[in-house]
A and B are shown apart, each in its own frame.
Chain A
Amino acid sequence: MATTEARRAAGTGSPAALDPLDFLDVDALLSDEERMIRDATRGWVRDRILPGIEGWFDRGEFPTEVAGELGQLGLLGMHLTGYGCAGTNAVSYGLACMELEAGDSGFRSFVSVQGSLAMFPIWKFGSEEQKQEWLPRMAAGEVIGCFGLTEPDFGSDPSNMRTAARREGPDWVLNGTKMWITSGGIAGLAVVWARTDEGIRGFLVPRGTPGFSTKDIERKLSLRASVTSELVLEDCRLPEEAVLPGVTGLKGPLSCLSEARYGIVWGAMGAARSCYQTALEYAKSRVQFGKPIGGFQLTQEKLADMLVELNKGVLLALHLGRMKDEGRVRPEHVSLGKLNNVREALAIARQARTILGANGITLEYPVIRHMNNLESVLTYEGTSEIHTLILGQAITGLAAFD
């Protein structure tokens, strides 16, 4: 975490000591500004998330008051420009996701949904009026957004969605159900995707619109510090101004998902880092057979494997971030990142759990919390199976799904 100046000064002397948490000195690949954004997010997570997360996860709560703090810091819609958004580059957004998820996937999910799934479509496809009306308040955390694409019967297969909007005079009337919607129950605005005669369109549905209701999903064992809900639309009438004018077709919601997925590529490595760090500290202090378990070969193999995959994953995330900032990243690249990093993060979490032994199953350590959270992350925003098939299609030219 040294500044460029300190680094340059250090360059003349002996090489810096190896840092178990930044083994490859990835820090040196970041700009001062990127490091400062990372450190500011890390500091906030340390002060505001870590002290409370055990209780929130245990009780299945998301503390909605943090929305305003996240807005004040500038983390909501941070990679968007104008309308009160900070306008950072993609790497900074990724670094923030990593730090948030090192706290808990629930908070990274909240920020992903707010910035990439709710604000991004308005910013990208919305009218000027829609942008003015919603984006500044969403950037400030005053209005929480959610994104309705998945349905009870259509997850990986959104093109067959049932939710439909039909024109009735000057209005649109929406009917259907959306499922597994992060932040649904606390959202002031839902971005709902529905089929129309023209193709799939996006609708801005404010809370309180007659015919629109939400119901939170209870009894989750993953992402417990996050609200997951069902959205119900029953003859929900919306004016023409509620439609996002800039996009028709599935490419609208899919482009949002690609944005959010990019953040997950980084976020997963945050959860993995937390697990690795916990396991490393534990292995150095836990004594069995008269010595720290970190001194046994089997434990060292686990730690070394975790270190290798963590560093590879962070380098991959950074590479995709640089490509994104240069406008070269493709959805297939992001699929590769999400597939690898979430898979490896989950493997790291499970491996870390074994190092912690029985202690690994309690909420006193973050490991099983991350492990359970990552089960959701593996599935949402494109399952690992679908990302595999996207890659398969990209390299063979043969589609294994429609």
Chain B
Amino acid sequence: MNIVVLVKYIPNPEGTPEMGPDHRLKREGVEGALDPGDEHSVEAALQLAGSDGEVTLVTMGPEAAVGALRRGLSMGGHKGVHVLDDSLKGADVLVTARVLAAVVKRQAGFDLVLAGVESTDGYTGTLPMAVAELLDLPNVTFARKVEVADGTLKVERQTEAGYDEVECPLPAVVTVTAGANEPRYPTLKGIMQAKQKPMDTLSVSDLGLSAEDVKATQEVMGLEPVAAKEAGEVIEDPEEAPGRVVEFLTKAKVI
């Protein structure tokens, strides 16, 4: 199986992100890493690809984004594609999807495209669907388990109530949840081999896209902090507490 994984390099996943004067996340010169959510799709890809398959990691981003590819390659990915182009700064979801879809199209004979459910920095959660649409491929989201049998994709799709069993033909675009697997640690050998693995760096024109194709149509006008949640009620009297809890749960129609 040949699998393409869409990965993202995000600034400082464990710290507090900084916003620039353009109301966008500061990405330049900030420490970053492979989006922790993407480690699950890389892991899923490595498991599905098996010993004879190939896992191609694709990212779009500034120079530092190559770090996301290296991390995925050190986990066991086979090759990386980095779309690096100044004109992509400030790209919105649609532009990013056009770029990534163009890269995927160039991967001859791919069977499956995997991505995280949403990025840990932007949280739009819409990119994989846009890529699927542009590639005219079926899209299954929130996969907590992905299997391929007889050329058919079988997915357990996480829902609020449990999970759905979904089947669809290949190739397809699938988003993988953090519950799908436990990502492996990169091994020392993997880290040392990563730099020997093929890595393509492509520009917008290499992908056959025009300046119009990569022009963002969204503009961030301003930023508002999310309203803080109201503090909960604290009941300190142990005599009173059980009754009040039951009352609350009854009102909420939970019990």
Contacts and interface: CB of A to CB of B under 8 A. Distances in A.
Interface stretch (A29-37, A269-277, A366-374): A29-37
A398 interface: no
Nearest to B63: A5
Contacts of B65: 5
B195 A33 contact: yes
A5 B64 contact: yes
A3 B188 contact: no
A73 B31 contact: no
Given A2-B64, A5-B64, A32-B70, A13 B29 contact: yes
Nearest to B67: A3
B74 A36 contact: yes
Contacts of A379: none
Contacts of B195: 32-33
Contacts of A7: 29
B32 interface: yes
Interface string B186-213: 1111011011000000000000000000
Interface in B1-42: 28-32
Given A5-B62, A43-B185, 19 more contacts: A1-B31, A2-B31, A3-B64, A3-B70, A5-B63, A5-B64, A6-B30, A6-B31, A9-B28, A12-B29, A32-B195, A33-B194, A36-B71, A37-B191, A40-B74, A40-B191, A73-B188, A74-B187, A86-B189
A87 interface: yes
Given A13-B29, A36-B71, A74-B187, A3 B192 contact: no
B66 interface: yes
Contacts of A12: 29
Interface string B175-192: 000000000011111011
Given A3-B66, A5-B66, A33-B195, A10 B29 contact: yes
Q: Which of B71, B191, B195 has the most CB of A within 10 A?
A: B191
B192 A87 contact: yes
Interface residues of B, number: 23
Contacts of B194: 33, 36
Contacts of A78: 188
A13 B27 CA distance: 13
Contacts of B67: 3, 5-6, 32
Given A2-B32, A36-B71, A40-B185, A9 B191 contact: no
Interface string B72-93: 0010000000000000000000
B74 to A, nearest CB: 6
A88 interface: yes
A16 interface: yes
10 contacts: A8-B63, A9-B28, A40-B186, A40-B188, A73-B185, A73-B188, A75-B188, A86-B187, A86-B189, A86-B192
A359 interface: no
Contact of B64 (A6, A36, A40): A6
A interface residue count range (under 10 / 10 to 19 / 20 to 34 / 35 or more) = 20 to 34
Contacts of A64: none
The 10 closest A-B pairs by CB, nearest first: A74-B188, A10-B29, A6-B64, A86-B188, A5-B63, A5-B64, A3-B67, A2-B31, A36-B191, A74-B187
Contact of A88 (B30, B31, B63, B188): B188
Nearest to A16: B29
A207 to B, nearest CB: 27
Contacts of B31: 1-2, 6
Contacts of B62: 5, 9
B70 to A, nearest CB: 7
Interface string B54-67: 00000000111111
A72 interface: yes
A282 interface: no
A125 interface: no
A83 interface: no
B3 to A, nearest CB: 23
Looking at B29, B66, B70, which has the most chain A CB atoms within 10 Å of its CB? B29
Contacts of B186: 36, 40
Contact of B187 (A3, A6, A33, A72): A72
A380 interface: no
A78 B190 CA distance: 12
Contacts of A43: 185
B83 to A, nearest CB: 15
A44 B187 CA distance: 10
Nearest to B186: A40
Nearest to A93: B188
A74 B189 contact: yes
Contacts of A37: 188, 191
Interface string A70-82: 0011110010000
B64 A73 contact: no
A362 to B, nearest CB: 27
Contacts of A33: 191-192, 194-195
Interface in A288-325: none
A266 to B, nearest CB: 16
A9 B65 CA distance: 12
Contacts of A92: 188
Interface in B142-196: 185-189, 191-192, 194-195
Nearest to A72: B187
A2 B66 CA distance: 12
Nearest to B187: A74
B63 A9 contact: yes
B29 A73 contact: no
Nearest to B74: A36
A33 B185 CA distance: 15
A44 B71 CA distance: 15
A87 B195 CA distance: 15
